[in-house]
Amino acid sequence: MANPEPTFAVTRLFSRKNALNESRLEAASEPASAAPGEVLLRLDRFALTTNNITYAAFGEAMQYWEFFPTGQPEWGHMPVWGFADVVASAVDGIAPGERFYGYFPIASHIRMQPERITARGFYDATAHRATLTSAYNQYTRVQNDAAYAPELEHYQMLYRPLFITSFMLADFLQDNQFFGAQRLVVSSASSKTAYGTAFCLREFDGITLAGLTSARNRAFVEGLGCYDDTVTYDELESMATDVPTLYVDFSGDESLRARVHAHFGDSLVYDCFAGSAQNTGFLRDLRLPGPKPEFYFAPVQIRKRNADWGPQEVNRRFNAAQRRFIDHARDPGNGWLALVEEQGFEAAQARIARLAAGSGAPQEGYVVVVG
Ligand SMILES: NC(=O)c1ccc[n+]([C@@H]2O[C@H](COP(=O)([O-])OP(=O)(O)OC[C@H]3O[C@@H](n4cnc5c(N)ncnc54)[C@H](OP(=O)(O)O)[C@@H]3O)[C@@H](O)[C@H]2O)c1
């Protein structure tokens, strides 16, 4: 009798689409080999921040659920950034044992169909991903990534997906002369994406930065040292209104947006909707006075700068800025970040539930080790 084909156990973490604090693990047995044109990757580690909750919250509006379909309408596969190793390959140019950085479902294993394979990496050409934003379909071979250092893996997976937004948002704002503003007011100022943006904007003269945050995170925001002023949400109405002001919103809080428009009135020159840390809804038209909120999506500015500067120069500038940022963030003397390393999918379930409830601490950076 022929030997049965070897199999392995795959575990997947599914999130309930309409209650993101709820998740369940599903186990299945699958062939251990890769079909022609396919690679089989084992997810080794990934990071969790509020941004992952936002991917899920915007799962329908921004098609994030479609990257890794579950086949079960009520359950979605929350995307995360991390590192995975090739365990089987039927693709020329990708070998078992190679390690890749990219955008993965929370699962022990995933199959992909690489195309555009280069020394840098590949794009997953699995049919259902063809119409989705290509930046998320790209996987980077760590051994050829100029920004990669093994000892920085946890910082990379935690910060890189956020810092690309911070860097490109800072660039977008200065590329547009801050829309005439002299002051930026940034909500959810304690979030990693917000303070990454503030870090990049330190280099620009002529603007001041005010960080808006909750009372419990005020001391953390003050301690960051990258905002000129720290203002709690309750204190918003005490801010001066005679300065041209640009609102950068990472909170998505609709009542805060309404207060910002009412308080700053004609001084509000631009409203940039960049995130939704406190709200699981997408941007809605609230018919507010003043400028219409504009959704900011990093891949749009990346495309513009790829055309202006060429992709190599974009990468060079981004890598240099990211290294400065990570070195600053990981210096314990600065008090910005304490890595919290957790093991396995049950820990991930508990962490997701806590992040969905908004009970993360801003100085903590959560990484989950699967392998
Ligand atoms: N547009 C883009 O391309 C893009 C890319 C990356 C990230 N983002 C967005 O940026 C935002 C921040 O993400 P992150 O990963 O940097 O966050 P993070 O570091 O995990 O941020 C934590 C902070 O967010 C606020 N927060 C989070 N959940 C909350 C809740 N349920 N209730 C109240 N406050 C809550 C709190 O800040 P305060 O106390 O200071 O309010 C908290 O300290 C997310 O909305 C994310 O989607 C957007």
pLDDT digits (tens, 9 = 90+) for 45-88: 999 999 999 999 989 988 999 999 999 999 999 999 999 999 99
309 inside domain? no
Q: What is the value of pTM for the model shown?
A: 0.95
pLDDT digits (tens, 9 = 90+) for 309-324: 999 999 999 999 999 9
pLDDT reported for residue 28: 95
325 inside domain? no
Q: Alpha-carbon distance 102 to 118, whole Å?
A: 15
* Least-confidence region, from 2-6, 19-23, 162-166, 320-324: 2-6
Q: Alpha-carbon distance 126 to 113, whole Å?
A: 5
Q: Alpha-carbon distance 106 to 81, whole Å?
A: 9
CB atoms within 10 A of CB 95: 10
Q: Alpha-carbon distance 345 to 25, whole Å?
A: 8
Q: Are residues 114 and 201 in the same domain?
A: no
Q: Are residues 216 and 129 in the same domain?
A: no
pLDDT reported for residue 204: 83
pLDDT digits (tens, 9 = 90+) for 262-286: 999 999 999 999 987 777 777 788 8
Q: Are residues 106 and 191 in the same domain?
A: no
Q: Are residues 190 and 268 in the same domain?
A: yes
pLDDT reported for residue 350: 98
66 inside domain? yes
Phi, psi of 327 (to 5 degrees): -60, -40
For 179, the domain range is 162-300
Percent of the chain surpassing pLDDT 90: 89
SS3 state of residue 228: coil
Residue ending a domain, among 253, 269, 300, is: 300
SS3 state of residue 84: strand
* Ligand 1, atom 43, residue with closest C-alpha: 362
CATH number of domain containing 277: 3.40.50.720
Which residues, listed in sequence order, are joined to residue 47 by a DSSP beta bridge? 367
What's the mean pLDDT in 251-270?
96
Tokens of 124: 């997953």
Which atom from ligand 1 is nearest to the alpha carbon of 196? 16
Q: Are residues 226 and 101 in the same domain?
A: no
Q: Are residues 176 and 263 in the same domain?
A: yes
CB contact burial 261-291 (16+ within 10 A = b; e otherwise):
bebbeebbbbbbbbbbbbbbeebeeeebebe
Beta carbon of 166 within 6 Å of any ligand 1 atom: no
Residue pointed to by tokens 């203002």:
231
Beta carbon of 52 within 6 Å of any ligand 1 atom: no
292 inside domain? yes
* Cα-to-centroid distance, 187 and ligand 1 (Å): 9
Contact 301, 169 (CB under 8 A): yes
Beta carbon of 248 within 6 Å of any ligand 1 atom: no
38 inside domain? yes
Looking at the structure of the chain, the number of domains it has is 2
How is 273-319 classified by DSSP, letter by letter?
Answer: E---TT-SSPP-----SSSPPEE--HHHHHHHHHHHH-HHHHHHHHH
- The answer to whether the Cα torsion of 268, 273, 279, 283 is positive or negative is positive
pLDDT reported for residue 1: 55
pLDDT reported for residue 318: 96
What's the mean pLDDT in 216-241?
97
C-alpha distances in Å from residue 83, one per residue of 121, 146, 150, 298, 369: 13, 16, 11, 22, 10
pLDDT digits (tens, 9 = 90+) for 163-220: 999 999 999 999 999 999 999 999 999 999 999 999 999 878 889 999 999 999 999 9
CATH number of domain containing 41: 3.90.180
SS3 state of residue 368: strand
pLDDT reported for residue 309: 97
Phi, psi of 61 (to 5 degrees): -60, -40
pLDDT digits (tens, 9 = 90+) for 205-226: 889 999 999 999 999 999 999 9
pLDDT reported for residue 199: 97
Q: Are residues 170 and 256 in the same domain?
A: yes
pLDDT reported for residue 354: 97
Q: Are residues 192 and 221 in the same domain?
A: yes
Over 60: is that where the pLDDT of 338 sits? yes
Which ranges constitute the DSSP H helices of 37-186?
50-57, 153-175
* Least-confidence region, from 117-126, 280-289, 335-344: 280-289
Length of the chain equals: 371
Beta carbon of 113 within 6 Å of any ligand 1 atom: no
Closest of 209, 204, 210 to residue 175, by C-alpha: 204
Q: Are residues 20 and 136 in the same domain?
A: yes
Beta carbon of 250 within 6 Å of any ligand 1 atom: yes
Q: Alpha-carbon distance 214 to 250, whole Å?
A: 13
Tokens of 8: 């392995």
Contacts from 209-213 at CB under 8 Å and sequence distance 24+?
Answer: 209/183, 209/184, 210/183, 210/184, 210/185, 210/186, 210/239, 211/186, 212/185, 212/186, 212/187, 212/188, 212/236, 212/251, 212/256, 213/187, 213/188, 213/189
Confidence category of residue 109, pLDDT binned at 50, 70, 90: very high
Which residues, listed in sequence order, are joined to residue 247 by a DSSP beta bridge? 185, 271
Residue ending a domain, among 300, 320, 350, is: 300
Beta carbon of 296 within 6 Å of any ligand 1 atom: yes
Confidence category of residue 3, pLDDT binned at 50, 70, 90: confident
pLDDT reported for residue 2: 64
Q: Alpha-carbon distance 360 to 47, whole Å?
A: 13
* Cα-to-centroid distance, 339 and ligand 1 (Å): 17
Which residue type does 129 have?
R
The maximal CA–CA distance of the chain, rounded, in angstroms, is: 84
Q: Over the chain, what is the mean pLDDT? A: 95
pLDDT digits (tens, 9 = 90+) for 345-368: 999 999 999 999 988 899 999 999
